[in-house]
Chain A
Amino acid sequence: MTREEQIAEALVELADTLVVDYDVVDFMHALVNRSTELLGGDAAGLILSDKRGQLQVMAASTHEVELLELFEVNNDAGPCLQCLRTGRPVMDIDAGPEVSESGTVAAQGGVEHGRDRLGEWPRFTAKRRAAGYRAVYALPLRLREEVIGALNLFSTSAIPLSERDLRLAQALADVATIGLLQERAIRERQVLAEQLQRALNTRIVIEQAKGVLAERTGLGMDQAFAAMRSYARSNHHRLTEVAERVIDNTLPVGELVH
């Protein structure tokens, strides 16, 4: 199979998992495996940041990669972590025996050393060498300003990725980002539906409470509402809670209406 055919096949597979019976776990594994294949790497992994900013190792094509990624997460240091923080591609590659080049990857594929380099991570580098990997590339999963994770490519050879391959790697990372954000959007839609229904029902509770209070005090509906709202505000209670207590008669009318 030519490289073009390989790429096409990979994209078709990834697109399929996005549309037909979408399953985010399948998608992540497909992404990791295809990345390895296409980029001549030996392994790949995916680290994601959940909504609260906690990092999770979501997929890894080998056990060693999983351990390396976990090591990074647990020690808060490594190329993948730096990628996540900066939103830029990062590499850590053996330039010779006992020497490594590491830092943010510049547009031309070279390594940028400079102000935004957060420093090397010797313990990680030692571990990845021990595992037989001579190079790591971390590509950011980002959409506009949000960086939600990193796609990490591990290679047993120290040949740097060509510019073309870097672009392809980033394209795969971009596909991953879209797929994952779709998953979040679906999840958020559910939460939204649930909350919307609760809000609609809460409005009814408030109307019922207005009726109860109006009958007990002789006030009009608007005045009854104003009394509840004013009480809620001064006492730092939620309006819904006040309404519920009016209905079950656990809030003395005298406290609401003076």
Chain B
Amino acid sequence: MSPSQRVLDVVESLLESDGFPVPPSVRLCEAVTAALPVTGVALSLMVPTGSAGLVAATDDRARAIEELQFSLGVGPSLVASRSGRPVLEPDLARLTSARWPGFLPAVLDRGVRAVFAFPLQVGAIRVGVLDLYRDSPGDLPDEALADALDFADVATMLLLDLQGQNPDDPQLPDRLEAAVHRPEVHQATGMVMVQAQVGLQEAFLLLRARAYADNRSVLDVAIDVVGRRLRLDGEP
């Protein structure tokens, strides 16, 4: 299912900006807040060892909530990231206090009533989490949920870009499609991981970097890798 126009417009605006003075990660958070029925958004990086860091947030409250989860080691974002599934809590006030001790009361105190945490991942590549907060209870309507999932994909690519240092990559819309919907891309990622003797995330970056360098789509490069016409073993 292709992303809605709302999502495509956001991607467009991210590509048009040059990163100054507002970095794309912040712009994305702001755009998500504007496009969806939520009051705050935060984007965080999470590495497999468990440590995490806030990348961007729309406001101090969103920032504080993210950091609280990291320091307490409990919360919906952490569950989302570890389990690989979104954690949708439309009414925090109705949860029992045994859930997320320390975190839940603090978050309610700050006036947050709903949280929707989306893991940022490509299969076994776990990059981080996109958290949506709302100061009133209620679940995300179907359309908003679909958009949120697409925004999570955009955020995933953004975080991978930041790490791969490909800030000017114009292929974002392509990669949104290709990365998520074609098995060859993921199979190639696995193969490159072994060929280059690197981690899965780095293998994915190598694949994309090669596509960028050769001015081809990631899917085309992946098909060559799977067809054993191309090896990416990290050698120049």
Contacts and interface: CB of A to CB of B under 8 A. Distances in A.
Contacts, number: 86
B10 interface: no
A216 B192 CA distance: 11
Contacts of A210: 187, 190
B124 A186 contact: no
Contacts of A206: 123
B88 A209 contact: no
A204 B127 CA distance: 15
A174 to B, nearest CB: 25
A189 B142 CA distance: 9
B234 to A, nearest CB: 14
Interface class of chain A by DSSP:
helix
30 contacts: A190-B88, A193-B86, A193-B145, A194-B88, A197-B118, A197-B149, A198-B83, A201-B84, A204-B180, A205-B123, A207-B187, A207-B190, A208-B187, A208-B200, A209-B190, A210-B187, A210-B190, A211-B191, A211-B192, A211-B194, A212-B190, A212-B191, A212-B193, A213-B190, A214-B187, A215-B190, A215-B191, A216-B194, A221-B187, A244-B124
Given A207-B187, A211-B191, A212-B193, A197 B200 contact: no
B183 A198 contact: no
A247 interface: yes
B38 interface: no
Given A198-B84, A208-B186, A210-B190, A247 B145 contact: no
Contact of B186 (A21, A190, A194, A204): A204
A87 to B, nearest CB: 29
A86 interface: no
Contacts of B149: 197
A247 to B, nearest CB: 5
B123 A208 contact: yes
A194 B122 CA distance: 16
A202 interface: yes
A45 to B, nearest CB: 21
A6 interface: no
A201 B186 CA distance: 11
Contacts of B180: 204
Among B90, B124, B194, the one with the most A-chain Cβ atoms within 10 Å of its Cβ is B124
A182 interface: no
Contacts of A56: none
A151 B119 CA distance: 42
Given A207-B123, A212-B193, A244-B124, 13 more contacts: A189-B139, A195-B85, A198-B84, A201-B123, A204-B124, A208-B186, A208-B190, A211-B187, A211-B188, A211-B191, A212-B191, A215-B195, A221-B187
The 4 tightest CB contacts between A and B, nearest first, are A211-B190, A204-B123, A198-B85, A207-B186
Contact of B183 (A193, A197, A207, A216): A207
B226 interface: yes
Nearest to A198: B85
Nearest to A240: B84
Contacts of A207: 123, 183, 186-187, 190
B87 interface: yes
Contacts of B200: 208, 247
A208 B84 contact: no
Contact of B226 (A221, A243, A244): A221
